[in-house]
Amino acid sequence: MKTYQEMSRGELLKEKAALEAAFEKIKARGLALDMSRGKPGADQLDLSMGILDCLDSKAVLEAADGTDLRNYGVVDGIYEAKKLMADMVGTKPEHVIVYGNSSLNIMYDQVSRAEIFGYCGSTPWCRLDKVKFLCPVPGYDRHFAIMEDFGIEMINIPMTEDGPDMDLVEEYVNHDPAVKGIWCVPKYSNPQGIVYSDETVRRFAALKPAAEDFRIFWDNAYAVHHLYDDDRAEILNILEECEKAGNPDMVFQFCSTSKVTFPGAGIAAVSASKANLDDIRKHLTLQTIGHDKINQMRHAKFFPDADSVRKHMAAQAEIIRPKFELVEKYLKKEIASHGIGRWVIPKGGYFLSFESVPGCAKKIVAKCKEAGVVLTAAGAPFPYKKDPDDSVIRIAPTYPSMEELEEAVKVFVTVVRMVTVEKFVEEESDRQCQKGA
Amino acid sequence: MKTYQEMSRGELLKEKAALEAAFEKIKARGLALDMSRGKPGADQLDLSMGILDCLDSKAVLEAADGTDLRNYGVVDGIYEAKKLMADMVGTKPEHVIVYGNSSLNIMYDQVSRAEIFGYCGSTPWCRLDKVKFLCPVPGYDRHFAIMEDFGIEMINIPMTEDGPDMDLVEEYVNHDPAVKGIWCVPKYSNPQGIVYSDETVRRFAALKPAAEDFRIFWDNAYAVHHLYDDDRAEILNILEECEKAGNPDMVFQFCSTSKVTFPGAGIAAVSASKANLDDIRKHLTLQTIGHDKINQMRHAKFFPDADSVRKHMAAQAEIIRPKFELVEKYLKKEIASHGIGRWVIPKGGYFLSFESVPGCAKKIVAKCKEAGVVLTAAGAPFPYKKDPDDSVIRIAPTYPSMEELEEAVKVFVTVVRMVTVEKFVEEESDRQCQKGA
């Protein structure tokens, strides 16, 4: 089969007509499908229902240290929950503070605290003329939204298959004191599913920041979210590596059970050096009476050890892996064969990142919407919502059912082909005009 | 019986010797008692255990509008929880945003947001030379701690039996644009148990602030925390009054179920005008994925209507009212009879505020500690921990058992008498010296 690049103008026009006809037929069906949201499906959530029985009115609501879980106290989380969260990201309980249900909230607070108070005695960022963050792209839109809220300048860092372009990261971090942070999703990155290599992690740990208060925002959101139980990616422990490299205070690691148990009712944590945690605790004590210790214990009971987490995530993988494989099948068949797109096949996480021919993403998303299939907005995985190549589309296959997903993917690949052919035809016309002119 | 003021030097010295001997005996017992903490006792918490059975693995975890409570979404709280919290403070669900388990956290965030972003488009406070808050005293130490954290200047406002001295409040608020807020606990105030009169509430609503972004921080922490089910204080609805007075955006009202169900695992809310709530939602959407909707529903199920809340609080009152009455009995018998202290008898809330002869509070607290009875630090209910008269001591009778409380109160009244007599003797000596000199 010829790729679109190899087709003659006549062949392209024929293909275009066929695809546009197919598109009209799809539109007529009035579909309402959604591949935009990184949400677990109801069947995944069903696997966690048992957590609601872990503590009932007959339970003794006490932590091992005697703390009454129902009452005030314990601002940084009960030990049992610290242990669970530490195990999830491979660190020690004493390096962990457990919060409520949202790791995003912890990240936001960390930025907010830097703005007002500064880290560990450094100058508050609100007093500086300029604060910059590095943003590996494509990345997580909610990270970038926090930056926009605080008016922090974002700098794009291209991703490689081993993680962010570390030459560029070192260049910025080690020479520009206005660069105060970098956003990382080190395992099964959102949206590409890339796993940072050991060398990448070590180069992160060995940074020599120009800013004394530079911090790596290590959002280990998918630490245990493997698609293949027998092929689980492991990354180096960033806290340990930073400590070894003489940079113990350079990183905040975030994690949560949002996509482990219930996104609406999980627990979240930050892990960091003692100096950083003490700095957090100093303000946290004034900020809150503490977080929900009963829900912390519910999680600790539901997951008595690391192996129980692994099994639980393997059961979830059974549900979502076929969805990823379905998307990959159609991409391979309908897109790869025509040579008009790229993607990484992820082994975990919640997303695929589809990269179209440059200049097509917005139109693909718009046309899919016209046909009743909602995708994440083009540009969303970039700072300021600007994809410089207009080519990245985040695909979230987990929430729809297999049937809905298959419908949606079929629409998607048809639209990708149509928009790409239209683009090629248009470009060809332009070239003809230029020749003629 | 003579009051201490009426005693001769000889009588005072005799009394002093007797009390000091009693004190030594108490010390020798090695007590370890605590009247410092505004925490419910375990028996109160037992009354809420049923909430843990409201949602189990067999429950349908859906809100009335179809929202899956387990998944992402609904950043400002489910309707069912809004209704519950609205009923608690007498407002409407559409004026409510429901958060996680800590109203303190909401208050902190409101101050933090003003510092960084400003309210509804006003200048962020961090850009101003000076920001001041009015603090009715005695008041809640955690309010003042937030102010200190942000470097906001606090101005003491004396309390009257009808609430804060409104002449002074109007003087400051209506003329000083640096005054951006005031902290109020309008019902069963912490620590005095004072209930704001209708006139006080109306005068609050009718303020004409010099600052466009002035806000009343209306911490309605004890809205349903009556000690007497047949004598429940009601205050005017501040949101309605502000609206009537043409100041709809001037108030944030806070409340929580911390001392209704479980302090560690309740739900909290802010209520305000639509403009204020929209301003909050704008940032909240970036700040968090939303709060624990399952716990919100647990509360809504446990309290199907306002009457169920009333009954639940009446049952709690049965437990804590005798504790308050016990303290009052000893204060009346041992203190009032000697004319050496004042207090308001509260009809709700969690505290009594004891006012000693000026200059005695620190010593009373220190001596109680020596005797094994921990009280809230003297000065704690004041900005900068400075009680100008060194006379206010907050008593928290709820947490100890009746037996422990009785022991503790006996120690307390003995110490109050001893320290006061010592003070009188000392002053008398000073007067003699001055006469002699």
pLDDT of B431 reads: 80
Instruction: List the single residue in A126, A288, A295 with the smallest CB-CB distance to B102.
Output: A288
At A431, the pLDDT band (50, 70, 90 cuts) reads confident
pLDDT in tens, A216-234: 999 999 999 999 999 999 9
What residues of B are in contact with residue A42 (Cβ under 8 Å)? 68, 71
Coil, strand or helix at A138: coil
* CB A418, CB A23: distance < 8 Å: yes
A-contacting residues in B 65-84 (Cβ below 8 Å)? 68-74
Whether residue A294 and residue B264 make contact (CB cut-off 8 A), yes or no, is yes
Q: Has residue B429 got a pLDDT over 90?
A: no
pLDDT of A436 reads: 66
Partner A contacted by B287 (CB < 8 A): yes
ω into residue B191 within 30 of 0, thus cis?
A: yes
pLDDT of B434 reads: 78
pLDDT in tens, A104-136: 999 999 999 999 999 999 999 999 999 999 999
What residues of B are in contact with residue A57 (Cβ under 8 Å)? 49-53
At B157, the pLDDT band (50, 70, 90 cuts) reads very high
pLDDT of A433 reads: 80
* Residue B292, both tokens: 């624990």
pLDDT in tens, A8-50: 999 999 999 999 999 999 999 999 999 998 999 999 999 999 9
Q: Are strands A341-342 and A268-271 parallel, antiparallel or unpaired?
A: unpaired
* CB A353, CB A324: distance < 8 Å: no
ω into residue B164 within 30 of 0, thus cis?
A: no
* CB A223, CB A255: distance < 8 Å: yes
Rounded to whole angstroms, how far apart are CA atoms B140 and B338? 29
Instruction: List the single residue in B53, B287, B291 with the smallest CB-CB distance to A56.
Output: B53
* Residue B226, both tokens: 């009556």
ipTM of the complex in this document: 0.96
pLDDT of B264 reads: 87
B-contacting residues in A 95-134 (Cβ below 8 Å)? 100-102, 104-105, 108, 112, 115-117, 126
pLDDT in tens, B373-392: 999 999 999 999 999 999 99
Q: Has residue B133 got a pLDDT over 90?
A: yes
pLDDT of A437 reads: 58
Average pLDDT, stretch B308-328? 98
Identify the helix (H) or strand (E) that includes residue B80.
helix B79-89
Average pLDDT, stretch A382-407? 97
Q: Has residue A271 got a pLDDT over 70?
A: yes
Of the CA atoms within 13 Å of residue B354, those in its CB half-sphere come to 34
**C-beta contacts of B320-325 below 8 A and 24+ residues apart:** B320/B40, B320/B41, B320/B44, B320/B227, B320/B397, B320/B398, B321/B227, B321/B228, B322/B402, B323/B397, B323/B398, B323/B400, B323/B402, B323/B405, B324/B227, B324/B352, B324/B397
Average pLDDT of every residue of chain A: 96
3-class DSSP string for B367-399: HHHHCCEECCCCCCCCHHHCCCCCCEEEECCCC
Partner B contacted by A60 (CB < 8 A): no
pTM: 0.96
Q: With left for phi above 0 and alpha for psi between -120 and 50, is residue A263 left, alpha or beta? A: alpha
* CB B39, CB B399: distance < 8 Å: yes
Q: Are strands B341-343 and B392-395 parallel, antiparallel or unpaired?
A: unpaired
Looking at chain A, the whole-number percentage of residues with pLDDT higher than 90 is 96
Of A159, A48, A143, which Cα lies nearest the Cα of A103? A143
pLDDT of B302 reads: 98
Nearest residue in A to B265, CA atom: A292
Q: What share of chain B is helix, strand, coil (3-state, %, to 5)?
A: 45, 15, 40
Partner B contacted by A145 (CB < 8 A): yes
CA distances from A61 to B260, B295, B394 (A): 17, 16, 29
Average pLDDT, stretch B337-365? 96
CA dihedral A267, A270, A274, A280 (to 10 degrees): -90
pLDDT of B159 reads: 97
B-contacting residues in A 288-327 (Cβ below 8 Å)? 288-295
pLDDT of B1 reads: 74
Q: B197 — phi, psi (to 5°)? A: -75, 165
Work out the burial of residue A412: count CB atoms within 10 Å of its CB; fewer than 13 is exposed, 13-18 middle, 19 or more buried.
buried
At B35, the pLDDT band (50, 70, 90 cuts) reads very high
Coil, strand or helix at B320: helix
Identify the helix (H) or strand (E) that includes residue B39.
none
Partner B contacted by A406 (CB < 8 A): no
Instruction: List the single residue in B146, B149, B283 with the smallest CB-CB distance to A149.
Output: B283
What residues of B are in contact with residue A76 (Cβ under 8 Å)? none
Helix axes B166-175, B198-205, angle to 10 degrees: 10
Chain A interface, best mutation among B47, B55, B58, B70, by max A CB count within 10 A: B70
What residues of A are in contact with residue B48 (Cβ under 8 Å)? 70
pLDDT in tens, A283-302: 999 999 999 999 999 999 99
DSSP conformational letter for A126:
G
pLDDT in tens, A306-341: 999 999 999 999 999 999 999 999 999 999 999 999
Rounded to whole angstroms, how far apart are CA atoms A323 and A41? 11
pLDDT of B71 reads: 96
pLDDT of A430 reads: 84
DSSP secondary structure, A24-38, as one string: HHHHHT---EE----
pLDDT of A255 reads: 98
Looking at chain B, the whole-number percentage of residues with pLDDT higher than 70 is 100
At B421, the pLDDT band (50, 70, 90 cuts) reads very high
Helices (H), A263-401: 274-287, 293-302, 306-330, 361-370
pLDDT of A43 reads: 96
Q: Amino acid letter at B366?
A: A
Of A261, A266, A173, A260, which Cα lies nearest the Cα of A217? A173
pLDDT in tens, B77-116: 999 999 999 999 999 999 999 999 999 999 999 999 999 9
Average pLDDT, stretch B411-426? 96
User: How many Cβ atoms sit within 10 Å of the Cβ of residue A334?
Assistant: 18
Q: Amino acid letter at B39?
A: K
Looking at chain B, the whole-number percentage of residues with pLDDT higher than 90 is 96
Q: What is chain B's Cα-based Rg?
A: 24
Q: Has residue A342 got a pLDDT over 70?
A: yes
pLDDT in tens, B37-58: 899 999 999 999 999 999 999 9
pLDDT of A428 reads: 81
pLDDT of B436 reads: 67
What residues of A are in contact with residue B45 (Cβ under 8 Å)? 68, 70-71
* CB A421, CB A19: distance < 8 Å: yes
Partner A contacted by B40 (CB < 8 A): yes
Whether residue B40 and residue A71 make contact (CB cut-off 8 A), yes or no, is yes
pLDDT of B437 reads: 58
Rounded to whole angstroms, how far apart are CA atoms B261 and A146? 34
pLDDT of B363 reads: 98
CA distance to partner chain A, nearest, from residue B418 (Å): 34
* CB B190, CB B202: distance < 8 Å: no
pLDDT of B244 reads: 98
Q: Has residue A372 got a pLDDT over 90?
A: yes
Average pLDDT, stretch A170-194? 98
Partner A contacted by B258 (CB < 8 A): yes
In the block, residue with structure tokens 């007797």: B18
